[in-house]
Amino acid sequence: MNCLEERIVKDGVVKEGNILKVDSFLNHQMDVQLFDEMAKEYQKRFAGKNINKILTIEASGIGIASVIALRFGVPVVFAKKSKSINLDGEMYTAEVESFTHKNINHVIVSKKFLTEDDHVLIIDDFLANGCALQGLIQIVKQAGATVEGIGIAIEKGFQPGGQIIRNLGYQLESLAIVESMDASTGQVYFREQD
């Protein structure tokens, strides 16, 4: 098990409805020392990739992305979420449907901060249905930039996002892929990774 899987076993809480609460270390309280260990793992997995920018989405992706960016020596751009879109042409926008909140958001990035010269590592905390991630990929494409890879903290392996993204040919690296959870025992089962 890697550092994140170990931490999930120790401090993650499984709730009914396939909910995994990791708010004590990942997405409300944030253990940035853990994020730095995760950054080292991403460095190994994306070794040899020419990455000059990290793209994430507010809010809970920002902390992880920032610590990873520090180790990669590159800046972060975080996409903003908005109900409305600004049509002045200065922004890349993509529509994202949230399964959690049952609404449609727009994901927005200023054109100033993503261009065809960029080689992007996309980072986010969770991958389930992959909607947010597909919005980020759309935005990178609109910019004519290159997605060099996608780094996720926790992938829900029993939801379709991961397979959809891998089928599109992207190098998707999730540090913990949860195959199943049992709310009665609190047990979390991970997919074996090399």
Which residues in this chain contact a copy of itself in the complex, by CB under 8 A?
23-25, 28-33, 35-36, 58-59, 62-63, 65-67, 69-70, 73, 75-78, 80, 109-110, 112-113
Listed as own residue / partner, the contacts of 181-184 with beta carbons closer than 8 Å and 24 or more positions apart are: 181/14, 181/18, 181/20, 182/14, 183/14, 183/15, 183/16, 183/17
User: Exposed, middle or buried, 145 (CB in 10 Å: 0-12/13-18/19+)?
Assistant: buried
Residue 89, Ramachandran bin (φ over 0: left; ψ between -120 and 50: alpha; else beta): left
Nearer to a copy of itself, 44 or 112 (CB): 112
Nearest-approach distance from CB 126 to a copy of itself, in angstroms:
16
Nearest-approach distance from CB 43 to a copy of itself, in angstroms:
15
Nearest-approach distance from CB 179 to a copy of itself, in angstroms:
27
Nearer to a copy of itself, 66 or 134 (CB): 66
Nearest-approach distance from CB 84 to a copy of itself, in angstroms:
12
| Beta bridge partner(s), residue 33 | none
Nearer to a copy of itself, 35 or 46 (CB): 35
